[in-house]
Amino acid sequence: MTFDRVPVVEAALDAYLETAPEAAPASAPRALDEPVTPGRSLTVGAARALFEDQVTSRAIDVTARELKKTDRSYYTISSAGHENDAVLGALLRIDDPAFLHYRSGGFMISRARQLPGTTPAFDALLGIVASSQDPIAQGRHKVWGSRPLWVPPQTSTIASHLPKAMGTAFSLARARRLGVATQLPPDAIVMCSFGDASANHASALSAINTARYAVRIGLPMPILFVCEDNDTGISVPTPEGWIADTFGNQGHLRYCLADGDLDEIWEVAAEAIRFVRHARQPAFLHLRTVRLWGHAGSDAEHAYRSQAEIAANEARDPLLRNARRLVETGAASPVELRALVRDTRRRVLEAGEEATRRPRLETTAEVVAPMAPYHPDRVALRAATPPPTAEGRRAAFGESLPEEQANPNARTLAGNLNAALADELARRPEMILFGEDVARKGGVYNVTNGLQRRFGAGRVFDTLLDETSILGIAQGAAHLGLLPVPEIQYLAYIHNALDQVRGEAASLQFFSSGQFRNPMVIRVPGLAYQRGFGGHFHNDNSVGALRDIPGLVLAVPSRGDDAARMLRGAIAMAAEDGRVVVFLEPIALYHEKDLHADGDGGWLFGYPPPPDHLLPGQVGVYEADDEADLLLVSYANGLRLSLRAARRLRDEHDIRARVIDLRWLNPLPFEAIRTHAARAGGVLVVDECRSTGGGVADAIVADLAEAGIGPRPASVRAVDSFVPLGPATAAVLVGEDQIVAAALLAAGERTAR
Amino acid sequence: MNRPPRAVVVCPGRGAYTSASLGSLPADHPIVRRAEDHRAALGLEPLLALDGAERFDPARHLRPANASPLIFLATLLDVEEAARDHELVGVIGNSLGWYTALTVAGALSFDDGFRLVQQMALLQEQPIAGDGPGGQVIYPLTDAGWQPDERLTASVADALLDGGEGQVFESIDLGAYAVLAGDEPGVQGLLRRLPPVKVGDRLYPLRLALHGPYHTPLVAPVASAAAEQLRDLAWRRPAITLVDGRGGRWTPWSSEPAALRDYTLGGQVVTPYRFASSLRVALRELAPDLLVLPGPGNSMGGICAAGVVMEGYHGIRSRADFDEAQRAVPVILSMRREG
């Protein structure tokens, strides 16, 4: 048996079309608007169009493999055997957002038919050869996506696009209610597709669960989940009946099985779409497919499947079956289909050759251009617009504004965040705020207290306890033009859903060349040092995984006035440049009042009214004395500890320390650090996070060392451990004494040199 | 065995027939004779008399009812010849060229295609409502090297935004040129407001002689009259893929003749004709070896060459690339070389 099964499958279709009996010469061709089979809605014309699109999709797969033989294509995961999803491309509208998995060639070709001027085959080929002319990813990946066809791109290998598809469905009615121009009609629905093996991913189950949950609490959830079931996950067979068993009997989820001939599949798919469109409830369309030619071009299917199994699978080729259906119903003649197949194969192959002549990305600048756009001037302008109005603020805050209250300069970080969120909600009608316990309870730490009461449940709402879905809702809402500010209740919980940030939200501009964006500010209470409340899950100090995400902005305020200004900067970056920002709030400082001594009120600050804001690179500087002996570089809890240590260094050791607050951990303010380090006698980085794993200290020390700036830098860091319960925390976290000791060494370094 | 080159046919618009085109028609060709029968039935001057005239008379030869069928016939005759040694994989056209393309592709029989062309031309001679005839103005969008010039694009955008006392519309997007249209005050305004620019030895903006404000709402009465007068045309599935003035593809296997009729007699008449889009779609999706330019005149040569350069087709990214390619393996074949 030959290993290259492409010609075998192609030949089987050809053989059928060669040998199929022609219609009797006397019989007239069937009218295009009559149904293929009596009583069904698929017309002869639509069936012929579908078949043409399916053959086109197949030809793209064949061309990808053909070009691979001469190393001119870079992607051979194909849609072969899945082409009946073209039915959905034809039945859904191009203003029904579609989040597709990677075997969606048929869908894309047939959807593009709705928009004259599109070039779907050539576009796909440009993606396969990684050309910078690929209209969606510009050669950064082969993705199915299109701005005019409302298909946001994703790699979709682990069903990580389902939560945002659900989030888009969740947000449709809300965006409309809030007056945000979505450009979508009121009856738009969302579609997402995935494979049978992918249906097992936590992200898939999470999205489906949240969709059902929405129905249960009375929210509209117009989403069509399409499981393209080819019985296999790479080499692992899906147990027979697994998809139907798992999804066939779930409450609040209409299950529809699409199997059989083209007209039967059309009927079921049309009904599923009708249901979702009218009921505004989710449906699960179980579309039976076949996977031809292995998982990808490199996948040696014969290693895990018998020849008989492979041949049996090929016999179920939907193109073969559809050709037979068209011929047997008289919807098309074999001679017509032969010409169609011949012509399509040829033109797609030639288009593939042409695609290889198109330019590719070459420079680093070209590759990263859309990843992390940043226009400081425009962001600053955005932070100031729309200008806060006195009436708007009075309406949001009632009688007295935060800066007018009894002790205007004695406000906590939590209090200022609450006020800043209220100010932003008041002047940005597209902003929404949500998460676990944020609405009615006002947050575990009261940071969002009263916001739902003031701004309504349309804009401030509680979600179910699922971080993946919270971030999915954020992405979906952002796709529609809302400005989401989701909360992940604790830093440790974001790791539960981190791929939603890493693989999806942060990559969207990169893979869509900036054509799709999902601006958001993810508020995350975190870090350690909570007195009397402990354990790792509430005191997580791991930020490496966030700092490692390309393009992600990580903000970490340490005090109340900064927090308000940084939040405005973060929101402006999201709104203007579409950035994804994680706003990490140090829980232990939320309600901290004092700095050096109990009752000194040294950690209470005033409320800077909008539009005052801070942006990355703008560090906080304490004890700004040109003659400092030592530079302490820190953030968050570490900043407060550093300031305490600096006081002791001055009082007890006559050492003058300047302290800078990084404020932003991604991107790090290297320029400011270098400037201060160059003038310091010693440099100590105080990093409260784990000592390894992409921490801040590593990056700063390395930068100063490589640049040869200032004295040899030193650092103190938390122990590389989970944070324990109770007083044992002191054994792993950075403490004040430790800072003082290290500072003395670092200051001594100057004299030693 | 060498396969014949795969060609996309580009049918020219009504500006194609010039003094150099005289003598295009073979008197004994069957389709010429059929055309003359139709002309006689309509009481119109014989095409052979026009084509055989001693000298070119703009008022006579450029009259829509005369120019359109002359170009139609000459184009079909050339396509017949081109089909001998090319595989025709697609047909596109510019404006009137769309009607010709329908016949080339077999969506209409010769007789019905002729009726469509002749009838539309007669309808286009009807005055539009308002003050004066209105018309079309052509303006370049690229420099002499066929590279897009943003200043020219901006001038066109400005002109469209400010119609002055008249109405102005986008009419045809040729890629290298914009064709704008308007009622008479609109056209006068365009001629005044578009900054003069010289490309080659031609000065723009240039009013197209005896052209009406085609592909705009001003000719909506033409669309309704055409739908009425041409309702008995027998529309068929094309035998060759057509790409229309929106960049929409009509293949032999999935096209609905009724939809083709509705587009041709409806939207096509009153919305901008995006020739540049049809060319781009044809190049990308049909991936021909070359473009074949039939018919009189050389009105499409530069436009198609610029389209090839702007698309970077076959790696051709400049005028120099294009000239070099033409010397080696031509990407554009003009069936005639006239003045």
Q: Which of A255, A274, A229, A228 is nearest to A92 (CA)?
A: A274
Task: State pLDDT tens for residues A199-228.
Answer: 999 999 999 999 999 999 999 999 999 999
Q: Residue A681 gets which letter from DSSP?
A: S
- CA–CA gap between residue B127 and residue B133 (Å, rounded): 6
Q: What is the pLDDT of residue A1?
A: 53
Percentages helix, strand, coil for chain B (3-state, rounded to 5) are 45, 15, 35
Percentages helix, strand, coil for chain A (3-state, rounded to 5) are 45, 15, 40
Helix pair angle (A105-112, A120-128), 10° resolution:
140
Helix pair angle (A696-707, A670-678), 10° resolution:
60
Q: What is the pLDDT of residue A536?
A: 85
Q: Examine the predicted complex and report whether its ipTM is higher than 0.85.
A: yes
Q: What is the pLDDT of residue A319?
A: 98
Average pLDDT estimate for A728-736: 95
- CA–CA gap between residue A624 and residue A620 (Å, rounded): 10
Structure tokens at A690: 């784990």
What's the per-residue H, E or C state across A309-337? HHHHHHHCCHHHHHHHHHHHCCCCCHHHH
Minimum Cα–Cα distance from A354: chain B residue: B314
> Chain B partners of A33 at a C-beta cutoff of 8 Å?
256, 258
Task: State pLDDT tens for residues B190-200.
Answer: 999 999 999 88
- CA–CA gap between residue B220 and residue B234 (Å, rounded): 23
Is 80 exceeded by the pLDDT of residue A518? yes
Q: Residue A151 gets which letter from DSSP?
A: B
- CA–CA gap between residue B185 and residue B182 (Å, rounded): 8
Strands across the sheet containing A713-718: A620-622, A657-661, A630-634, A683-690, A713-718
Contact map slice: A 128-147 vs B, CB within 8 A: 133
Confidence of residue A297 (pLDDT cuts 50, 70, 90): confident
> Chain A partners of B256 at a C-beta cutoff of 8 Å?
32-33, 45
Q: Letter for the amino acid at A506? A: A
Task: Say what the alpha-carbon torsion angle A558, A561, A563, A569 is, to the nearest 10 degrees.
Answer: -130
Tell me which residue has tokens 């590759």. A367
- CA–CA gap between residue B292 and residue B310 (Å, rounded): 18
Q: What is the pLDDT of residue B339?
A: 43
Helix pair angle (A413-427, A560-577), 10° resolution:
30
- Under an 8 A CB cutoff, do A32 and B256 touch? yes
Q: Tell me what the pLDDT averaged over chain B comes to.
A: 94
Beta-strand pair A460-462/A431-435:
parallel
Residue in B246, B274, B285 nearest the CB of A122: B285
A119 touching B (Cβ < 8 Å): yes
- CA–CA gap between residue A117 and residue B92 (Å, rounded): 13
Is 70 exceeded by the pLDDT of residue B337? no
Q: What is the pLDDT of residue B203?
A: 95
Is 80 exceeded by the pLDDT of residue B142? yes
Provide the b/e sequence for A69-105 (b: ≥16 CB within 10 Å): eeebbbbbbbbbbbbbbbbbbbbbbbebbbbbbbbbb
Give the whole-number percent of chain A exceeding pLDDT 90: 91
Residue in B6, B244, B253 nearest the CB of A350: B6
Task: Say what the alpha-carbon torsion angle A499, A501, A502, A504 is, to the nearest 10 degrees.
Answer: 80
Q: What is the pLDDT of residue B267?
A: 95
Structure tokens at A583: 């706003």
- Under an 8 A CB cutoff, do B247 and A116 touch? yes
The gap from C-alpha B28 to its chain's centroid, in whole angstroms, comes to 26
Task: State pLDDT tens for residues B107-118.
Answer: 999 999 999 999
Task: Say what the alpha-carbon torsion angle A76, A79, A80, A81 is, to the nearest 10 degrees.
Answer: 150
Q: Residue A658 gets which letter from DSSP?
A: E
The number of C-beta contacts closer than 8 angstroms across A and B is 75
Number of H helices, E strands in chain B: 14, 12
Confidence of residue B159 (pLDDT cuts 50, 70, 90): very high
Residue in A119, A337, A358 nearest the CB of B285: A119
Task: State pLDDT tens for residues A319-341.
Answer: 999 999 999 999 999 999 999 99
B162: how many CB neighbours lie within 10 A of its CB? 11
Q: What is the pLDDT of residue A260?
A: 96
Q: Which of A485, A494, A445, A491 is nearest to A467 (CA)?
A: A494
Cis peptide bond prior to A667, omega within 30° of 0: yes
Q: How far is A25 from chain B (nearest CA, A)?
A: 18
- CA–CA gap between residue B196 and residue A446 (Å, rounded): 67
Minimum Cα–Cα distance from B279: chain A residue: A117
Structure tokens at B57: 């008379």
- CA–CA gap between residue A565 and residue A5 (Å, rounded): 62
Strands across the sheet containing A431-435: A460-462, A431-435, A483-487, A520-526, A580-586, A553-555, A664-666
Torsional class of A401: left (φ above 0), alpha (ψ -120 to 50), beta (otherwise): beta
Confidence of residue A143 (pLDDT cuts 50, 70, 90): very high
What's the CA angle centered on B60, arms B55 and B65, to 5 degrees?
A: 135
Q: How far is A164 from chain B (nearest CA, A)?
A: 32
Minimum Cα–Cα distance from B252: chain A residue: A340
Strand pairing partners for A487?
A435, A523
Contacts (Cβ under 8 Å, ≥6 apart) of A251: A212, A216
- Under an 8 A CB cutoff, do B287 and A351 touch? yes
- CA–CA gap between residue B263 and residue B278 (Å, rounded): 15
Q: What is the pLDDT of residue B16?
A: 83
Contacts (Cβ under 8 Å, ≥6 apart) of A368: A510
Cis peptide bond prior to A163, omega within 30° of 0: no
Is 80 exceeded by the pLDDT of residue B99? yes
Number of H helices, E strands in chain A: 28, 19
Beta-strand pair B135-140/B206-207:
antiparallel
8 Å CB contact between A96 and A189: yes
Q: Is A506 helix (H, G, I), strand (E, B) or coil?
A: helix
Minimum Cα–Cα distance from A126: chain B residue: B284
Give the whole-number percent of chain A exceeding pLDDT 70: 98
A393: how many CB neighbours lie within 10 A of its CB? 20
Is 70 exceeded by the pLDDT of residue B152? yes
Q: Given the residues A161, A295, A538, A613, select the one marked as catalytic.
A: A538
Is 80 exceeded by the pLDDT of residue A694? no
Exposed, middle or buried by CB within 10 Å (0-12, 13-18, 19+), for B19? middle
Q: Tell me what the pLDDT averaged over chain A comes to.
A: 95
Q: What is the pLDDT of residue A442?
A: 97
> Chain A partners of B4 at a C-beta cutoff of 8 Å?
none
A159 touching B (Cβ < 8 Å): no
Q: Is residue A538 among the annotated active site residues?
A: yes
Residue in B252, B256, B274 nearest the CB of A45: B256
- Under an 8 A CB cutoff, do B248 and A119 touch? no
Task: State pLDDT tens for residues A585-642.
Answer: 999 999 999 999 999 999 999 999 999 999 999 999 997 666 789 999 999 999 999 9
- CA–CA gap between residue A558 and residue A657 (Å, rounded): 19
- Under an 8 A CB cutoff, do A117 and B285 touch? no
**DSSP letters for A348-372:** HHHHHHHHHTS-B--SHHHHHTTTS
- Under an 8 A CB cutoff, do A351 and B285 touch? yes
Confidence of residue B297 (pLDDT cuts 50, 70, 90): confident
Q: What is the pLDDT of residue A753?
A: 42
Provide the H-helix boundaries in A370-529.
376-384, 390-397, 413-427, 451-455, 467-479, 491-494, 498-499, 508-511
- Under an 8 A CB cutoff, do B248 and A351 touch? no
Q: What is the pLDDT of residue A752?
A: 46
Q: Is B69 helix (H, G, I), strand (E, B) or coil?
A: helix
Alpha carbon of B81 to those of B75, B76, B305, B335: distances in Å? 10, 9, 22, 9
B329 touching A (Cβ < 8 Å): no
Exposed, middle or buried by CB within 10 Å (0-12, 13-18, 19+), for A177? exposed
Contacts (Cβ under 8 Å, ≥6 apart) of A533: none
A229: how many CB neighbours lie within 10 A of its CB? 25
Task: State pLDDT tens for residues A388-399.
Answer: 999 999 999 987
Q: Is A618 helix (H, G, I), strand (E, B) or coil?
A: coil
Residues in chain A: 753
Q: Residue B285 gets which letter from DSSP?
A: I
Provide the H-helix boundaries in A532-666.
544-547, 560-577, 587-590, 636-653
B196: how many CB neighbours lie within 10 A of its CB? 8
Q: Letter for the amino acid at B325? A: A
Tell me which residue has tokens 């992390």. A372
